[in-house]
Chain A
């Protein structure tokens, strides 16, 4: 096999055509939607690596057995769901902030992660209920005074449109309840390794095979994300300019097909690898979790705190 004869002349030419040296065109390429999306995916990837770092940070919650953590989190979620007063929920929220602090979770990161989406979703859902034309109540802030009731078709508005005290309390209660619940869930997930948390699900009698499927999903999502970012980087390194939206769309659809094919082939290989090591369709696991003294103390502590908040809430209601 000889190489020199096979190389076409243009490939041997001194220098490919293009601008000389560092000549700038002064025209910037635009960042397309594709690049933004792919970058966001990469960001998610990095963030999950970051959270694994927090899981190994050695704070208070990180030292609790994941099973105990899961059960106590469920208990606190139950308390959050049944209490009915804003001060109690505020107290619970301050408690989650303290937990975050003692678990070496950066507070700004924690607060941002919880409160970034709640105003959009929960806030939007409860917004109408604060107005007196949706839910009558004692006016708190008067917005518009028509002087007389207004009827537009089937809509009936009172003479004064106001935000009600009951509406505000109800909305606050729901938003806070969601906030505390999400905080607890976020704390649980960022202070635990995913693998351990999934294993801990077994305490709720979730079938082993289901846990195993979840574990493998988690493990291979990372691999497929890497495949996707690699595919995009490879394309970017060979493309000049951002490409038209149409080209990008075509790249995405081809990419989806490509990744699907790869995932399918990989799944067959994984199955072979499992069979080869004696897998017969029944998931067998060994648990290396051990309940320590600090876990017992933690259970008692959370139980006492839960009863404290519940009792306080009952007293507020009297």
Chain B
């Protein structure tokens, strides 16, 4: 397929995975026969138990690893080690897709918060004044002014996650891939994160979040993909459908028998399902 780097319209397919599988050297596959299309402007949650292959799938989407079987296309161009060696394509692709790692320690490698946020724009060869402007405005947007000159190792878990998000947003990507973004965050920061994601989606960003936090799924997704423990896509659908399917969530080991869905729609007015652990 010819590479088409034209700006994509809402609804265009931006990621296309055909029968994708992946296995690390001499080990059983962590992804099997994945067929998936992601369109521009979608917000997708990838659900699955630990070790179901969510992170691997996201790394494939970000062109960090390449499938051992099948084909991945992004923006109409096949994603291979070879195409990502191409200077123009790789710069274009890296600018369009941002990846927020689960481990903020790996994401934050620069000596200060300011440098961290400036890293991406600098790699894109933006003029210096534009780099400075982007960094400063992201700092204001996410309320990081007081952390500006701090070293990453001196930040708290929540602050690290905020800086990680800032460091990717400064590239202004079309697609945001987030790996377990709420892990280890306090409830307040989780709420903050969900709000940021909703705003970014409203601004037209495509958002792909891997999570096992069922409470946030309805906010961060309009389509849910469920990976089973044998590394296949076992279900796909709207968040309400997936969350209501107790049998499915039990089967993929996301919930235990004592988990209950509560709809607080009437009393709280936001019509969300919440999951609680009860003992009978």
Chain A interface (Cβ < 8 Å from any Cβ of B): 1-2, 49, 52, 193-195, 198-199, 215-216, 218-220, 222-223, 226, 266, 269-270, 272-280, 284-286, 288
Contact = CB atoms under 8 A, between A and B. Distances in A.
Nearest to B167: A277
A215 B101 contact: no
Given A215-B111, A223-B105, A279 B257 contact: no
Nearest to B279: A3
Contacts of A279: 119, 123
A278 B111 contact: no
A275 B62 CA distance: 10
29 contacts: A1-B256, A195-B111, A215-B110, A216-B109, A219-B111, A220-B109, A222-B153, A223-B105, A266-B103, A269-B106, A270-B109, A272-B59, A272-B106, A273-B99, A274-B119, A275-B64, A276-B64, A277-B119, A277-B123, A277-B168, A278-B95, A278-B120, A279-B123, A280-B123, A285-B115, A286-B118, A286-B131, A286-B132, A288-B114
B267 interface: no
Contact of A218 (B111, B114, B119, B149): B111
A284 B122 contact: yes
Interface in B49-95: 59, 62, 64, 87, 90-91, 94-95
B101 A269 contact: yes
Contacts of A193: 149
Interface string B114-136: 11001110111100100110000
Contacts of A195: 111-112, 115, 151
A279 B111 CA distance: 16
Q: Which of A49, A266, A284 has the most CB of B within 10 A?
A: A284
Interface of B: 59, 62, 64, 87, 90-91, 94-95, 97-99, 101, 103, 105-107, 109-112, 114-115, 118-120, 122-125, 128, 131-132, 149, 151-154, 167-168, 171, 256-258
A273 B257 contact: no
Given A269-B101, A286-B118, A219 B151 contact: yes
Contacts of A222: 153
Contacts of B99: 273, 276
Given A266-B106, A269-B106, A286-B128, A277 B120 contact: yes
A267 to B, nearest CB: 9
Contacts of A49: 154
Given A1-B257, A219-B110, 18 more contacts: A1-B256, A49-B154, A194-B111, A195-B111, A199-B111, A219-B109, A219-B153, A266-B106, A275-B64, A276-B62, A276-B97, A276-B98, A278-B124, A280-B87, A280-B123, A285-B115, A286-B118, A288-B132
Contacts of B91: 278
Contacts of B62: 276
Main secondary structure of the interface of A (DSSP, over half): helix
A110 to B, nearest CB: 23
A30 to B, nearest CB: 33
Contacts of B103: 266, 269
Contact of A278 (B64, B154, B171): B171
Contacts of A219: 109-111, 151-153
Nearest to A221: B153
A222 B109 CA distance: 12
Q: Which of B106, B122, B258 has the most CB of A within 10 A?
A: B106
A277 B64 CA distance: 11
B109 A274 contact: yes
A41 to B, nearest CB: 15
For the complex of A and B, 9 pairs with smallest distance between CB atoms:
A195-B111, A278-B123, A269-B106, A278-B94, A277-B120, A284-B122, A276-B99, A1-B256, A222-B153
Nearest to B253: A1
Contacts of B95: 278
Q: Which of B107, B125, B149, B256 has the most CB of A within 10 A?
A: B107
Given A278-B95, A278-B124, A280-B90, A273 B107 contact: yes
A288 B110 CA distance: 15
Q: Which of A195, A199, A278, A279 has the most CB of B within 10 A?
A: A278
